[in-house]
Amino acid sequence: MWRELAAEFPDVQLSEAAESERIRAIESGLGQSLPSSLSSLLLETDGVEDEYGTEVIWTAEKILSENSSLRTDEQYRTLYMPFDSMLFFGDNGGGDQFAFVRTPERDDVFVWDHETDSRNWVSPHLESFLRSALGSAGEDWYR
């Protein structure tokens, strides 16, 4: 399904599928489950880059490392509200990052503005998010 969706956008770069062990490593490392949509996407392609090279969907490895860093970095803890309820999975190439809320679990996609620490709703689900992100002509399509 995800590869077919991405094929609608000619300049999108897809990776080989992530192994299921990587999905389990994220869930174990972060202590929370991945949304089923993100898990199924990663099992088809371990990351999605748009035509400008922006990592719209990060690799499984990057999802784990970025979320771990955001949750444990002391500087982030003093600058921003806690990130423990968020599961970040991609960015806009300019610093803003996209996430699911995991406490409580939701399928909606939110954007975190790194300059204001605001967290705003972007899309009702991953499919809609991906279509909007890949169909846009710039990094701030969600504003």
With 0-12 CB in 10 A as exposed, 13-18 as middle and 19+ as buried, what is 75? exposed
With 0-12 CB in 10 A as exposed, 13-18 as middle and 19+ as buried, what is 27? middle
Q: What is the pLDDT of residue 143?
A: 78
- The residue type found at 90 is G
Task: Grade residue 139 by pLDDT with cuts at 50, 70 and 90.
Answer: low
Please check whether residue 111 lies inside any domain of the structure.
yes
Task: Grade residue 10 by pLDDT with cuts at 50, 70 and 90.
Answer: confident
Residue 14 is classified by DSSP as E
Whether the predicted pLDDT of 140 surpasses 80? no
Whether the predicted pLDDT of 131 surpasses 70? yes
Q: What is the pLDDT of residue 29?
A: 97
Instruction: Let me know the angle formed at the C-alpha of 66 by 64 and 72, rounded to the nearest 5 degrees.
Output: 95
Please check whether residue 39 lies inside any domain of the structure.
yes
Please check whether residue 141 lies inside any domain of the structure.
no
Please check whether residue 133 lies inside any domain of the structure.
no
Please check whether residue 132 lies inside any domain of the structure.
no
Considering its fold, how many domains does the chain have in total?
Answer: 1
pLDDT digits (tens, 9 = 90+) for 42-94: 999 999 999 888 999 999 999 999 999 999 999 999 999 999 999 999 999 88
Q: What mean pLDDT is predicted for residues 91-110?
A: 94
The CATH number linked to 22 is: 3.40.1580.10
